[in-house]
Structure formats: structure tokens, C-alpha cells
Amino acid sequence: MSSASMKTAGNNAVAKVEALLNPRNVVIIGATDKPGNWAQRVWRNLKRYNYPGKIYPFNPARESVWDERCYRSFDELPEAPDHLIVLAPAKHVAGMLRDAAARGARSATVMSSGFDEAPEAEGKVLGAELRKAIEETGLAVSGPNCLGNFNAAASFFSMTDDRPHKFTVGPVAVFGQSGGIVMAIKRTLEERGIDTAALVTTGNETGLTTADYITYFAQVDHIRVIACYVESVHDPKAFLDALRIARAAGKPVVVMKLGASDKGREAAAAHTGALAGSMEAFDAIAGEAGALRVRNLDDMVEAVEFLTHAPLPTGSRLGSITFSGGMRGLLLDGAAMNSLDYRPLSDATFKRLSEFLGVGTIIGNPLDTGFTGLTNPAAYVKSVEALLTDPEIDILLLQEELPRGPGSERKEANLRAVNDLVPKYGKPVAFVTMISHGVNDYARKLRDELPNLAFLQEVEKSLRAVANVIAYAERIGQKTPALPAPNEAGRKLLADYARVAGPATLDEVRSKNLLRAYGVPAPREELAVTEDQAVAAAGRIGYPVVAKLVSAAIPHKSDVGGVIVGIKNEADLRAAFARIVSAVAALPGKPSLDGVLIAEMVSGGLELVLGASHDPEMGPTILFGAGGVDLELVRDVALAAPPLDEARANALIDRTRVAHIIAGYRGRPALDRAALVQALIGLSHLVTDAGEDIDSIDINPFLLRTSGGMMLDALVVRKKGA
């Protein structure tokens, strides 16, 4: 999407969510006196929290409800309807939306269920009808199958929850497809002293989607962090565009993503398709666009706490001060578990600390001030300042928890002093507790007075949050490469192969021809249909050679005895050719054999895998890792979004363990990393040119040597019907 079209789509999303969360009036459709009904709960909450607009009960079968007039048609309303709370049976919802839109309504929250989430076939029909009504009317619709919305700035609370809620315009927006989960997030953030400015329960997202809400909240000035619970991504392109809008606005999007797509886990014809489940793809694609994915709701709370109160780190090096040797050990263990780095203090910092810290102090990183830190506030504050000035430290983690009552004046004085220091140095500072604990009104009041400090709970959970934030900061600091110029030779081959009838899987010859066009090298090889052709090809190539069956119907040749290596002479080659023909003939279904590929015998390198797949939620992804027949068992792979440039290809390689072997592990010679980078870039350009036409690509193995590298086998799988 161009920047202009992205802006247009963004403006449309902003206008729609604005209408949803700032309604001029509310019409509650499905009003009834039935005890405990949701319509009445919504009515009470709108009244309870002093919603300033008019509220109109609506039910075609009632004249009064809740001691109020009940309106039976939109024509009876004293003004045009603006926002609808829909609690009517599913079969009536689409018609209600059309009628209301015709009379001026701008938005609706459809709490009714029985649409796409229902197991019955009727639910899918009603879901399609609802989508059509939304498209035709242009209404801003949240839901269906949701629990309402909340906007503190508008005193708007259309939810069914009877528990008391704070109405403070805080720095966080929360939304998600599970009403119960997003309300739990809101309650927990408030428990920790972080107020939620707005909350949306998005339900099935038949109308407005996660992308619309991200786009809107990214442009609300008082929102600093966006927290969302996502079950499925409905429109990957819109979702990624929204993340980029938030990234450009400096608004972190913390995502709790439920599960991995079943489609992403299905075994595909290529190994890569089986390896690239949607969670890995989500991290690679959405992470680069601006999502900070957390693995559970506790991690979401810690990430939001950090991002709300601390600047993003400019590096990954940790510094810490503790009062306890045990806490020091916990921090070191937690850092190791999360691949974080405590580097030694600089000589200047070490000397400076030695001047004012007393007996019992462990001067190192983490710094354990012990008794001195507890009894000498001046020494403690000097220690904090010394670590903040150390060039080897990017993030400072300190041991302490918020006091929950008076009597801890020294602690509070230390907290205030550190809070005042932070703006001077611009580095993130977080206090970390040994264990998770509750926070009371006293602690929350003190917390409000310390806006420059994050307060994280429990060591390993805290360090996991820090690792997530560091990774997020590194990703958004990377420049997205420009799209490469189209490869005309490659695009012609793509078009030619698209016209060829037959299986979606291209045979090895066609697959390699396509990849060669994008600069991925291969050995000398020729296709032979007869034994005599094979012998002639081997004569031109030179012994020893490899013989491999070629058939689009048999993607994994080695599994059926279709690869014979180390052929040293004509007699052995004729025997190998006959064995391959016999092996194919014996297979069930008698698949066709297009010929036998005779290739030069190449050895003496490292087997790697290069690949691509089309994730059902995130779209195209590039894969790299350790290759060979045990690829899926070893699973040392990493993913990235196409296209790649040199920096991004190198970063992809560095996310694998096999990168150490490429660099020359334990005395082994270093391998030609530059050749590997160029092959990855070429592969990514093929994926970019192919667009939706290719489902997966598998180059396994790609043999990397001290000089150069080449694909020994390759498989391209086109989209079915492409």
C-alpha cells in the first residue's frame, strides 16, 4: 500500500472508531425487563458513569421498560440515532443496522451472538449477511459476540460488567477479541497503578478489526501504549499497515497472540511449509512492522508497565544494584535465561564506586551494595548515578518494591531521588521485585509520584519483559529495505510455469531454473531421459556424479531411494539409472518420471536450508537455518519478512545457532557468508516478484563452502489453482 492510500485508509479507520467511542446518543436495541439481562446492565452502566448523551431503550414489542419510554421504531426517536447497542436475535441484526443507518446512525456495538462463531451452518449465513449490511451502510461496527466498550474521555461505558471501573484518561488503550480477557487486563493494570483510557471488546471483528483500532489509538495524543489480545488476524495487509502507523507515531503495540494457525502447522510439500508455523511467522513479520508479542497476560502487564514509564533502550547491556546476594544471583540467572548481557563495569565506574562504598559491597555488575545501600542513602544515590553514567550500561535495574504503608521513609526518599535523576541521563530505569505481590492505595499514590520509573514484579518475568522491550527497540530501529526492481527473466519463467498444466509442485529442474534466475547458484547438471543420455551428460560434467529422480509428484526423492551419490563410472551410472526407474515404478499410484538429473558431485561444505512459505495469517516469510535430512528434528531456523537486503539477511543468519559454525566454530575454517547472504537476497526477491503465486520454496540442502555456495536440491510449490 502506498503512503497516500495508507493515509486514506488510516483516516477512515480513525473516523469510524471515533464515532464508535464518542457517540452523540445511544440506542439500546433489545431492551427488556427480564431480570439480569444485558440490555439493562448496559443502561445502568451508562447512567452510573454519567454518560452525557441521551439513552433510548428500543424494542418493537414494548412501550415502556425500566420505568422509561421504550421506542418501537427509529422514526419515533426525538433525534437521529447515532450509536446502537444491539442485543436482538442474530437473524434481525442486519436489518436493524440497515434501518438505523438510513436514519443517520454512525456506529453500532453488536453484542448478539450466533454468527460465524456458531457451529451451525445458519451462523455462517447470518455472518455473511451481517458483513454485507456493514459494507453497504458504512457503519462503524464492533462485534458481534462482544461485551461492549469503554472510553474514559467521553464518560462512555457500554459494557455489561457490574464491577466498579475507574474513569481516568490514562496512557493505555486495551482491546481484544475476548471481552473477559481485556477486562482482566484493564483491572490488573489499574491494580498496578496504570489507568486505561479506552477499552474495546472486538468480538468476531466482522466490522471494525484490530487494524482499525491500532490505527485509531496510534493517533490519540494521550495514548502512549496500545495493548491488544489477538486470536486471529483478519486482514494481514491492513494489520501490518496499522502496526507501521503506530511505529511511526512512537506508540508500542503489545500483542498477546493466541495459538498458532492450524494451516501454518500443516505439513506442506516443502519442509519449509511444515517448519513455518504462524507464531514464528507472526514474530518475524508483525514484529518487524511494530508488534511486541508477549507469551502470556502477565508478560503483557510487565511490558506495558515498562513502556509506559521508561524510554526505549538504545542497547541491550544491563546494569543492576541490589541489597542482597540472593537477588544478585536471581538477576544473573534470569539474564542468562533471557539471553541478556551483564558486562563488567568500566574502570572509571569501578574506581568511582570504590571511593564511597564500604565493607560488604560487591563492586561488580550487578552491584551488591549490601548493608551500605540500605543504611546510607547518599551512597546509594551516588551508586545509581555512577551506573547511569557508565558507557557499558544501557538499562538499569534496581532492587526494590513499592512501600505499602508509611514507615519506609528511607526507601521512599531513595525512590524519589532516583526518579529525579532519570531525565538527566535518558536511560530506562526499572525497579524489580524478588516476587510478585499486591499493590494497595498507598503504593499506587506513591507510584503516581514517580513517573520516570518502571516497577516490575518477579525477577525472571521482569527480565523477560526487558528482553521483549530490547528486541522491540532493535526491530523498530531497523530500516525497511525498498522493494527490489522486478527481475524480468524470473518473472517470465514464473509466467511460463503458471501456464504449464499439472501438479502445483514444480520438479527440481524447473525449481532450480527459477532460482538460478534470481542468482541462487547450482551445480553443473543435466536432465536425462535415457541411460545413454545420462552417460553422455556425465561425460560432459565429469565423474563422480549424482543421479536424482525428477518428478513433480515425488517432492522428497531421498525418501524413496531416488538419490544415488558417488557414481564413479559408466557402469555404476547405468545401474543407478535402472534402480531409480525401478523404484519409481514400484511406488503406489505409479507416479510419472520426467527423467533423471545427472549432477556434479559436490562435497566439503555445510548443509543449510533456505526457504520461503506463505503463512495464512502473515503472508510471505523467508526461512534460514541448519539443513539436511534432519531439518525438522533439529529445527535450528529463523524467519524474516521479504524483501531482504544485506543487513536484514545477516540479521536473519545471526538468529540461528548455525551462524557460529559459519563463522568458524572451534578452529573450523570460516565459510563464505557473503555468498549465503546473496542467495538469501535472491530468494527474497523471487518471493517478492511471485507475490501470491508461490506457496513455498525449499532449498535443502544449500551447501556453503569456504568459497561460494550452491543449492543441491530445490523445490518450488505454486499456489493450488495459481
Alpha helices (runs of H) in 631-693, residue ranges in sequence order: 631-634, 646-654, 658-662, 673-690
The whole-number average pLDDT for the span 57-62 is: 95
Average pLDDT, the chain: 90
- Which set of grid coordinates corresponds to residue 274? 511444515
Confidence at 486, pLDDT banded by 50, 70, 90: confident
- Which set of grid coordinates corresponds to residue 22? 464518542
Closest-CA residue to 84 (of 31, 124, 33, 44): 31
Burial 280-307 (b: 16+ CB within 10 A, else e): bbbbbbbbbbbbbbbeeebbbbbbbbbb
Distances (CA, A) of 404 to 33, 50, 446, 535: 45, 32, 9, 85
Cβ neighbors of 315 (< 8 A, separation 6 or more) are 394, 395
* pLDDT on residue 502: 57
Residue 357, φ and ψ in degrees, nearest 5: -100, 140
Equal fold, 3-258 vs 311-475: yes
Please state, in angstroms and rounded to a whole number, the distance separating the CA atoms of residues 34 and 45. Answer: 17
Cβ neighbors of 115 (< 8 A, separation 6 or more) are 90, 123, 126, 127, 130, 144, 145, 204, 206
The whole-number average pLDDT for the span 436-465 is: 96
Confidence at 480, pLDDT banded by 50, 70, 90: confident
Please state, in angstroms and rounded to a whole number, the distance separating the CA atoms of residues 625 and 45. Answer: 54
Please state, in angstroms and rounded to a whole number, the distance separating the CA atoms of residues 298 and 188. Answer: 9
Q: Which residue has the higher pLDDT, 113 or 266?
A: 113
- Evaluate the CA torsion angle 255, 258, 259, 263 in order and state its sign: negative
Q: Is the pLDDT of residue 370 over 80?
A: no
Cβ neighbors of 647 (< 8 A, separation 6 or more) are 478, 479, 481
The whole-number average pLDDT for the span 88-104 is: 96
The whole-number average pLDDT for the span 389-409 is: 94
- Which set of grid coordinates corresponds to residue 326? 540472593
End-to-end CA distance of the chain: 23
Q: Is the pLDDT of residue 205 over 70?
A: yes
The whole-number average pLDDT for the span 82-95 is: 96
Q: Is the pLDDT of residue 374 over 70?
A: no
* pLDDT on residue 1: 42
The whole-number average pLDDT for the span 230-250 is: 93
Segments making up each domain of the chain, as ranges: 3-258, 311-475, 488-600, 606-718
Report the DSSP beta bridge partners of residue 319.
396
Confidence at 93, pLDDT banded by 50, 70, 90: very high
Q: Is the pLDDT of residue 602 over 60?
A: yes
pLDDT in tens, 662-719: 999 888 899 999 999 999 999 999 999 998 888 899 999 999 999 999 999 999 988 7
Contact status, residue 72 vs residue 63, Cβ threshold 8 Å: yes
* pLDDT on residue 275: 45
Confidence at 633, pLDDT banded by 50, 70, 90: low
Cβ neighbors of 162 (< 8 A, separation 6 or more) are 41, 45
Distances (CA, A) of 501 to 125, 278, 720: 35, 30, 11
Please give the helix or strand (H or E) that residue 395 lies within, else none.
strand 395-399
* pLDDT on residue 267: 34
Residue 449, φ and ψ in degrees, nearest 5: -90, 5
> What DSSP character marks residue 76?
G
Confidence at 612, pLDDT banded by 50, 70, 90: very high
Closest-CA residue to 231 (of 287, 292, 179, 300): 179
Q: Which fold, 3-258? A: Rossmann fold (3.40.50)
Residue 706, φ and ψ in degrees, nearest 5: -65, -25
pLDDT in tens, 491-529: 898 888 877 655 578 889 999 999 999 999 999 999 999
Report the DSSP beta bridge partners of residue 702.
608, 711
Q: Which residue has the higher pLDDT, 146 or 6?
A: 146
Poorest-pLDDT segment among 274-278, 520-524, 545-549 = 274-278
Domain 311-475 belongs to what architecture?
3-Layer(aba) Sandwich (3.40)
A 10 A CB-CB count for 65 gives 20
* pLDDT on residue 42: 97
Q: Is the pLDDT of residue 404 over 60?
A: yes
* pLDDT on residue 530: 94
- Give percent of the chain above pLDDT 90: 73
Please state, in angstroms and rounded to a whole number, the distance separating the CA atoms of residues 362 and 354. Answer: 10
* pLDDT on residue 268: 34
Q: What is the DSSP string of 543-557?
A: SSEEEEEE-TT-S-G
Contact status, residue 700 vs residue 631, Cβ threshold 8 Å: yes
Distances (CA, A) of 457 to 65, 185, 427, 461: 48, 16, 20, 7
Q: Which long-range contacts (CB under 8 A, 24 or more apart) does 369-378 make?
A: 369/321, 369/322, 369/323, 370/323, 370/324, 370/325, 373/321, 373/322, 373/323, 374/323, 374/410, 377/410, 377/413, 377/414, 377/417
Confidence at 373, pLDDT banded by 50, 70, 90: low
The whole-number average pLDDT for the span 312-334 is: 95
Distances (CA, A) of 617 to 142, 154, 177, 401, 505: 21, 34, 16, 41, 22
Poorest-pLDDT segment among 125-129, 271-275, 551-555, 579-583 = 271-275
- Quote the pTM value: 0.88
Q: Which fold, 488-600? A: Dna Ligase; domain 1 (3.30.1490)
Poorest-pLDDT segment among 122-126, 418-422, 630-634 = 630-634
Poorest-pLDDT segment among 149-153, 279-283, 390-394, 545-549 = 279-283
Please give the helix or strand (H or E) that residue 228 lies within, else none.
strand 225-230
Q: Which fold, 606-718? A: D-amino Acid Aminotransferase; Chain A, domain 1 (3.30.470)
Reduced DSSP (H G I as helix, E B as strand, rest coil) percent helix, strand, coil of the chain, to 5: 45, 20, 35
Instruction: Give 417: exposed, middle or buried? Use CB within 10 Å, 0-12, 13-18, 19+.
Output: middle
Please state, in angstroms and rounded to a whole number, the distance separating the CA atoms of residues 19 and 109. Answer: 11
* pLDDT on residue 258: 83
Please give the helix or strand (H or E) that residue 58 lies within, else none.
strand 54-58
Closest-CA residue to 149 (of 203, 219, 69, 80): 203
Closest-CA residue to 415 (of 434, 428, 426, 430): 430
Q: Is the pLDDT of residue 5 over 80?
A: no
- Which set of grid coordinates corresponds to residue 717? 510449490
Q: Is the pLDDT of residue 472 over 80?
A: yes
Contact status, residue 153 vs residue 266, Cβ threshold 8 Å: no
* pLDDT on residue 549: 93
Residue 484, φ and ψ in degrees, nearest 5: -70, 160
Please state, in angstroms and rounded to a whole number, the distance separating the CA atoms of residues 254 and 663. Answer: 35
* pLDDT on residue 360: 66
Q: Where are the beta strands (DSSP E) in 310-378?
A: 317-322, 341-342, 367-368
Q: Is the pLDDT of residue 721 over 60?
A: no
